[in-house]
Amino acid sequence: MGSPVQRIVLSGYYGYGNSGDEAVLQSILFALEEQGAKLGIRIEPIVLSGNPEQTVQMYGVRVYHRMQPLQVLQALRESDGLISGGGSLLQDATSAKSIPYYLGILKLAQWMGKPTFVYSQGIGPVNRRMFNGWIRSVFQRCRYISVRDTESADLLASMRLPRERIEVVPDPVMGLPLGSEAAAASPLPGAGLRTVGVSVRFWNRDRSELEALSRSLASLLAARNVRLRFLPFHLPEDEVASSYVIDRLGGDHGERVEMVRGLAHPQEMLHQVASCDLMIGMRLHALIYAASQYVPMVGISYDPKIDQFLHRLGMTAAASTASFDAAAVTAEAIRLLDGREAWAADKQAAIAQLKADAQRPAAQILSLLLK
- Phi, psi (5° rounding) for residue 348? -55, -50
Domain annotation covers residue 15: yes
Judge whether residue 222 has pLDDT over 50. yes
pLDDT recorded at residue 191 = 58
Q: Are residues 220 and 147 in the same domain?
A: no
Residue 330 burial (10 A CB sphere; 0-12, 13-18, 19+):
buried
347 touches 313 (CB < 8 A): yes
Do 71 and 40 lie in a common domain? Answer: yes
- In this prediction, residue 184 has a pLDDT band, given cuts at 50, 70 and 90, of very low
Is the pLDDT reported for residue 327 higher than 90? yes
Are 270 and 335 within one domain? yes
Q: Which of 111, 137, 169 is the last residue of a domain?
A: 169
The closest of 303, 254, 298 to 277, measured between CA atoms, is 298
Same domain flag for 216 and 273: yes
107/74 same-domain check: yes
Q: Mean of the per-residue pLDDT values for the chain? A: 94
280 or 17: which leads in pLDDT: 280
* Same-domain check for residues 192 and 161: no
Q: Is pLDDT above 60 for 189?
A: no
CATH number at residue 113: 3.40.50.11930
The residue range of the domain holding 90 is 5-169
CA 322/CA 302 separation, integer angstroms: 8
The verdict on residue 362 lying in a domain is no
pLDDT digits (tens, 9 = 90+) for 10-61: 999 999 988 889 999 999 999 999 999 999 999 999 999 999 999 999 999 9
Virtual torsion, Cα 259, 312, 362, 19, nearest 10 deg: -10
Calculate mean pLDDT across residues 103-123.
98
Do both 143 and 207 map to the same domain? no
Whether residue 315 is contained in a domain is answered as yes
What is the C-alpha to C-alpha distance for residues 247 and 340, in angstroms, rounded to an integer?
Answer: 29
What domain count does the chain have?
2
Q: Which of 169, 197, 227 is the last residue of a domain?
A: 169
Q: Which helix (H) or strand (E) holds 218?
A: helix 208-223
Residue 185: per-residue pLDDT: 46
| Same-domain status, 196 and 301 | yes
Q: Are residue 86 and residue 232 in the same domain, yes or no?
A: no
End position of a domain, from candidates 149, 169, 189 = 169
- Count of other CB atoms within 10 angstroms of residue 337: 20
Shared domain check, 327 and 188: yes
CA–CA distance, 170 with 280 (Å, rounded to integer)? 21
- Check whether residue 23 and residue 147 sit in a common domain: yes
pTM of structure: 0.91
| CATH code for position 250 | 3.40.50.2000
Confidence band of 186 (pLDDT split at 50, 70, 90)? very low
Q: Does some domain include residue 369?
A: no
